[in-house]
Amino acid sequence: MASKYHRVQRFTGVYYYESQDKKIRGKPDCCYMIRYQDQYNRQRWEKVGWKSEGYSAQFASNVRNERIQQARHGTLPENRRNVTFGDIWQRYDKWLESGRSRPYDDRQRYRDYLKRRLEHLPLDNISPLELEELKSQLLQSGLAPATVKHCLVIVRQVINKAIAWGLWQGENPVKKIKMPQLSNARERFLSREEARRLISELGKRSKQTQRLAIVSLETGLRAGELRSMRWQDIDWDSEIIYVRGKGGYDRQVYMTNEVMSALREQWQITSTYVFESRHGQKTQDTSRAFSRAVEACGLNNGVDDRRQIVSFHTLRHTFASWLALNGTPLLTIKELLGHKSLNMTMRYAHLCPDHKREAVRQVSGLWSSSGDDPKSPPDP
C-alpha cells in the first residue's frame, strides 16, 4: 500500500489515512480501512468510514472480525470482490488500442497523475471525497483545470468500463464530482505580419513543419486531423480535403492555392500519411521546430497568460478569427471548423463586423426619411 496508510497499533489489520481537506475538532479527519483474506486466500482492502461520521478503530476491528468469520464459513458476499483501479486499468489499457485514436494521452495522464494515488485502491473505496481530494491536489500542483478535468474523465471512463464488463457493481463516484471550471479558451490569434514571420522561420528549420503550419492556418484543421490525413483523403480535382471522423468522413475543407502547393511538395516525400515521421509512420506530435520558431520570432516574449500563448492550435484559432473579422457568418465558420454546436463557435462572435447596428439604422430610415410605410405584402 502507499505510504499514506498508517497502521493502528492496537488493532490487527486496521489502518487509517488522513484527509488533507476535511477537519474534525481542528485536526485532520481520518478514514479507517481494514485488510483481511477472503475464502480464496486473496487479500482484500475495505473502507469502513470516517471518524467524523462516527466510525472508530474499534468499530473497524469489529467489522474485520466479522469479515474473517464470513470468509471462514464461505459466506463473504461475492459482490465485495477486491478489484482495484489498477486491475481495471490493465484491461482498459488494452482496450485503448482500438477504443481511442490517441491512446497515449490517457496513458500519460494515468502514469503522471493517477497511478500513484488510485492504482492500489479497490473501486469500493474510491469515494467522491477521495476524488475531491485528488482534484484539489492536482489543481494545487499547478495543473491547468482542463488537464485536471481530463484526469477525472479518465477515472469516470475506467469505472464505467468496469461496470460494463461486469467486473464491479455500484454507482460511479465521479458523477458526484463537480468538474473544474475551465477558462482556458484561447484569445490570441496572429496578425498577418506575425503569421508571415512564423511561416518564414519554420522554412529555415523544417520544411514539413512549415507545410503543416500552412495547411492548418489556411484550412483550420486540428493538429490531430492533420496527423491522421492520408493521401486518399484529398480530391485534387475538386480541391477538397475530406476530414476523417468516427465511422467515416466527418466534413470537408477547401484548399487554397498555398495549401495545394504545400501538399504537392509533400507528395514527393511521403507515402500513406500526408505528414509522416522519419520512419514513415504517422506522426505522434508536433515537431519541436514549431516551438523553436515561435521562440525565434519572440511571439511569446513576456506572455504569462496561457490563453495568450502561441501554440500550434493558435493557427486554427487564427483561421477562424480571420474569417470572423472578414464578415463570414458564424454558421459557416462552425461548419468549416467541425464544431459540434454553435456555442463553440460563438467565441468568435465579438470579432464579427457589427451588422446589427447597421440593420437597426436601416429600420429607422424606413419611416423617418420618406414617411412611407415599409413595403408589406397586400392584404389577402
- For residues 227 and 335, membership in a common domain is answered with yes
Q: How many domains does the chain have?
A: 3
380 occurs within a structural domain: no
CATH number of the domain encompassing residue 142: 1.10.150.130
- For residues 269 and 199, membership in a common domain is answered with yes
Q: What was the pLDDT predicted at 348?
A: 85
Average pLDDT on 357-379 reads: 57
Give 79's pLDDT tier (boundaries 50, 70, 90): very low
- For residues 55 and 90, membership in a common domain is answered with no
Q: What was the pLDDT predicted at 143?
A: 84
Whether pTM > 0.75 for this model: the answer is no
Average pLDDT on 352-371 reads: 63
Position 136 pLDDT exceeds 60: yes
Summarised one tens digit per residue, pLDDT across range 369-379 is 555 555 545 55
- For residues 330 and 238, membership in a common domain is answered with yes
Position 361 pLDDT exceeds 80: no
Position 76 pLDDT exceeds 80: no
28 occurs within a structural domain: yes
Q: Are 319 and 216 in contact (CB under 8 A)?
A: yes
Contacts of 287 (CB under 8 A, 6+ apart): 206, 208, 209, 212
181 occurs within a structural domain: no
Summarised one tens digit per residue, pLDDT across range 165-203 is 888 888 899 999 898 876 556 678 999 999 999 999 999
Among 33, 64, 80, give the residue marking a domain's end. 80
Position 325 pLDDT exceeds 80: yes
- For residues 197 and 321, membership in a common domain is answered with yes
55 occurs within a structural domain: yes
Position 360 pLDDT exceeds 80: no
Among 39, 54, 80, give the residue marking a domain's end. 80
- For residues 57 and 107, membership in a common domain is answered with no
Summarised one tens digit per residue, pLDDT across range 140-150 is 888 888 889 99
Summarised one tens digit per residue, pLDDT across range 326-343 is 889 999 999 999 988 898
Which one has a higher pLDDT value, 332 or 24? Answer: 332
Contacts of 109-117 with C-beta under 8 Å, sequence gap 24+, read: 109/147, 109/150, 109/151, 109/154, 110/154, 113/138, 113/143, 113/147, 113/151, 114/85, 114/151, 114/154, 114/155, 115/86, 115/89, 116/2, 117/2
- For residues 329 and 202, membership in a common domain is answered with yes
Among 176, 207, 232, give the residue marking a domain's end. 176
Summarised one tens digit per residue, pLDDT across range 48-68 is 888 998 999 999 999 999 989
Summarised one tens digit per residue, pLDDT across range 213-259 is 999 999 999 988 998 899 999 999 999 999 976 555 678 999 999 99
- For residues 25 and 69, membership in a common domain is answered with yes
Q: What was the pLDDT predicted at 283?
A: 80
1 occurs within a structural domain: no
Summarised one tens digit per residue, pLDDT across range 256-314 is 999 999 999 998 887 889 998 887 777 877 778 999 999 999 999 988 777 788 999 99
Q: Phi then psi for 364, rounded to 5 degrees?
A: -60, -40
Average pLDDT on 133-155 reads: 90
For 62, the domain range is: 6-80
- For residues 325 and 301, membership in a common domain is answered with yes
- Annotate the chain with three-state secondary structure: CCCCCEECCCCCCEEEEEEEEEEECCEEEEEEEEEEECCCCCEEEEEEEEHHHCCCHHHHHHHHHHHHHHHHCCCCCHHHCCCEHHHHHHHHHHHHHHHCCCHHHHHHHHHHHHHHHHCCCEHHHCCHHHHHHHHHHHHHCCCCHHHHHHHHHHHHHHHHHHHHCCCCCCCCHHHHCCCCCCCCCCCCCCCHHHHHHHHHHHHHHCHHHHHHHHHHHHHCCCHHHHHHCEHHHEECCCCEEEEEECCEEEEEEECCHHHHHHHHHHCCCCCCECCECCCCCECCCCCHHHHHHHHHHCCCCCCCCHHHCCCCHHHHHHHHHHHHHCCCCHHHHHHHHCCCCHHHHHHHHHHCCCHHHHHHHHHHHHHHCCCCCCCCCCCC
Summarised one tens digit per residue, pLDDT across range 194-212 is 999 999 999 999 999 999 9
41 occurs within a structural domain: yes
11 occurs within a structural domain: yes
Q: 29: closest CA among 53, 47, 61, 63?
A: 53
Grid cell listed for 192: 498577418
Position 91 pLDDT exceeds 70: yes
Mean pLDDT over each residue of the chain, to the nearest integer: 85
Q: What was the pLDDT predicted at 333?
A: 93
Q: How far apart are CA 192 and CA 194, in angstroms?
A: 5
61 occurs within a structural domain: yes
CATH number of the domain encompassing residue 245: 1.10.443.10
- For residues 164 and 210, membership in a common domain is answered with no
Which one has a higher pLDDT value, 20 or 358? Answer: 20
- For residues 69 and 91, membership in a common domain is answered with no
- For residues 339 and 225, membership in a common domain is answered with yes
